[in-house]
Amino acid sequence: MELRREVKQIQKLTLRKNMIQLMRLYHAPLLELREILNQEWEENPFLEVTETKDEIDIDEDSINFEEKGNIIIYESFLKEEKGLKDYLEEQLVLFDFSQDEEEIARFIIGNTDEHGFLPLSPKEIGNILKRDIESIESVLEILKRELHPPGVIARDVKEGIIIQLIRAGLIKDLKDTEKNIDRLLKGEKIPESFLEKIKKISIYPGDIIDRSKNLYITPELYLKIIDGETRVFYNEKILPKVKFNKNLYDDMLMKLKFLSREERKFIKTKAKDAKNLVFLVEERKEKILRIAQYLIDRQKDFFLKDGYLNILTLKDVSSDLNLSISTVSRIIHEKYIDTPKGVFPLSFFLGKDKVKRGVFGTKVKMLIKKLIDEEDKNKPLSDGEIAKRLEKFGIFIKRRTVNKYREEMGIPSKIERKRRKSNESSH
């Protein structure tokens, strides 16, 4: 009876460990995922990680060879420089907050310091916003549990470390952990096992965003329109291939009788971990593809008819795909797709307001008009140059899309504008 109970506990722990790792993989943007895989490869002899060629096939029909300097390809998208608060606010679209909760969340984010810490207590926030403490604490709990990077919105360094350890599934005894953190902050000696746990923990979590400015975005997904249908594909060439090293495992099995109990346990554990990781990486890919295809299908008119974005919420995605809201939120986080209209974060296709739905019908056209109005009339901007300048506003569209919007507004081409200027000067 006791043995059966112990087996069940071990199974529960294994499932929990796998779930934590899966949630971590879901949430990880591409660069972070590569780091995770490299770290696992270094620590697990049964993992085989092989780099793929850093080349990506480009559909030649979509390239204008007369303006090679303005061709948009997968690796060349620069993130717009933003501060920590901008970065945190952008993630709010991934939460199923009411208007009141979103207002509280924006206030909290707006009052974080440069390291990502929140100097105000729930009571102080409640007094300022005239809200009850329960509402404030509820929003705080969600933000601490879900916002990236882990550890932001904490009161101080100590809570920031605890949040990061909890989210990484590395805390077994909270009191013991708190004691070790106190020792660490006082400069006292701490156990080697605890040092190992915190070696990748950030003392100031918000600083990670400043260090990661100007990183290149490499979309994990790309969209092709085939026979009038929108098809989403995974970019297989951007991640190393992860496989279970069966040859090594088989070789080890033949030597088991010559190994100690600890060595046999090590082999069994590492082999199981390697198989699990291979499975979880595939699971992540399948879920990203599934959600991305759903989002694109729901926003089909945006690509096929140049229409506005439909109103679509996390709750819609969660309900239709039978996934939890937190799972959808993690998967969408910092995942990008390359489309005929440019590169977008998956979160772009979610939103509740009409402004977002009409972003290409209004904002982009107005920006194009503004750029042309303010251009040097003797050296008017080409459509490619306009597309490049729009990137500074966080808008990535192709040259031919600029051409389309310009013509819809009745604005002449670069050549025609230059010709008109010459005619005016000669009169």
CATH number of residue 414's parent domain: 1.10.10.60
Whether 368 and 382 have beta carbons less than 8 Å apart is answered as no
Instruction: Name beta bridge partners: 339.
Output: 342
Whose CA is closest to 177, among 151, 141, 10, 163?
163
- The answer to the question of residue 241 being in a domain is yes
Paired tokens of 366: 């107005």
- Is residue 80 in a domain? no
247-276 burial: b if 16+ Cβ within 10 Å, else e: ebbeebeeeeeeeeeeeeeebeebbebbeb
Residue 295: band (very low, low, confident or very high) from pLDDT cuts 50, 70, 90? very high
Residues above pLDDT 70, as percent of the chain: 78
Q: Are 278 and 340 part of one and the same domain?
A: yes
Query: What mean pLDDT value characterizes the chain?
Result: 77
Report which residue type is found at 37. Answer: L
Residue 155's closest CA among 169, 168, 170, 140?
A: 140
**139-148 mean pLDDT:** 87
**What is the residue-wise DSSP string for 24-62?**
HHHH--HHHHHHHHHHHHHH-TTEEEEPPPS-----GGG
Same domain, 39 and 165: no
Contact indicator for 70, 390 with CB cutoff of 8 Å: no
Return phi, psi of residue 333, to 5°: -55, 115
Q: Read off the pLDDT of residues 235-244 as tens digits, 9 standing for 90 and up.
A: 888 887 888 8
Indicate yes or no: pTM above 0.75.
Answer: no
Residue 342 belongs to some domain of the structure: yes
Mean pLDDT of 74-98: 64
Q: How many domains does the chain have?
A: 3
Torsion-angle region of residue 286: left (phi > 0), alpha (psi -120 to 50) or beta? alpha
Within-domain flag for 206: yes
Distance, in Å, from the CA atom of 396 to the CA atom of 341, rounded to the nearest integer, reads 8
CATH of the domain at 135: 1.10.10.1330
* Average pLDDT score over residue span 273-280: 89
Listed residue (153, 145, 147, 161) closest to 118, CA to CA: 153
Q: Alpha carbon of 393 to those of 19, 242, 386: distances in Å?
A: 38, 37, 11
Looking at the fold, whether 174 and 206 belong to one and the same domain comes out as yes
Q: Which domain holds residue 230?
A: 2-66+215-349
Pull the structure tokens for residue 144.
Answer: 């601490």
Q: Is residue 385, in this structure, part of any structural domain at all?
A: yes
* Residues 33 and 127 occupy one common structural domain: no
End of a domain among 293, 320, 349? Answer: 349
d(CA 166, CA 147): 13
- Same-domain check for residues 13 and 93: no
Higher pLDDT among residues 393 and 168, named by residue: 168
Domain ends where: 160, 176, 211?
A: 211
Least confident of 40-54, 65-79, 104-118, 236-250: 65-79
Pairing of strands 221-226, 336-339: parallel
- For residues 231 and 341, membership in a common domain is answered with yes
Q: Are residues 166 and 112 in the same domain?
A: yes
- pLDDT tens-place string over residues 13-69: 445 556 677 777 887 777 778 888 888 888 888 888 776 654 334 333 332 323 333
Give the span between the Cα atoms of 333 and 23, in whole angstroms: 12
Residue 74 maps to a domain: no
User: 243 or 172: whose pLDDT is higher?
Assistant: 243
pLDDT at 128 over 90: no
Q: For residues 236 and 233, what is the distance between their CA atoms, to the nearest angstrom?
A: 9
Query: Which residues touch 351 (CB under 8 Å, ≥6 apart)?
Result: 93, 309, 311, 312, 357
Together in a domain, 252 and 342:
yes
Within 13 Å of residue 299, how many CA atoms lie on the same side as its CB? Answer: 30
Element (H, E) at 357: helix 354-357
Tell me if 210 sits within 8 A of 86, measured CB to CB: no
Tokens 């060349």 identify what position?
76
Residue 272 pLDDT more than 50?
yes
Q: Is the domain of 186 the same as that of 306?
A: no
Please identify, among 176, 191, 211, the residue that sits at the C-terminal boundary of a domain.
211
pLDDT at 308 over 70: no
Both 159 and 196 in one domain: the answer is yes
| pLDDT band at residue 192 using 50, 70 and 90 as cut-offs | confident
| Residue 78 domain flag | no
Q: Which residue matches tokens 């890919």?
A: 285
Same domain assignment for residues 58 and 90: no
Confidence of residue 363 (pLDDT cuts 50, 70, 90): low
Q: Which residues contact 328 (CB under 8 A, 6 or more apart)?
A: 291, 314, 317, 318, 321
Does residue 93 share a domain with residue 36?
no
Residue 28 in domain: yes
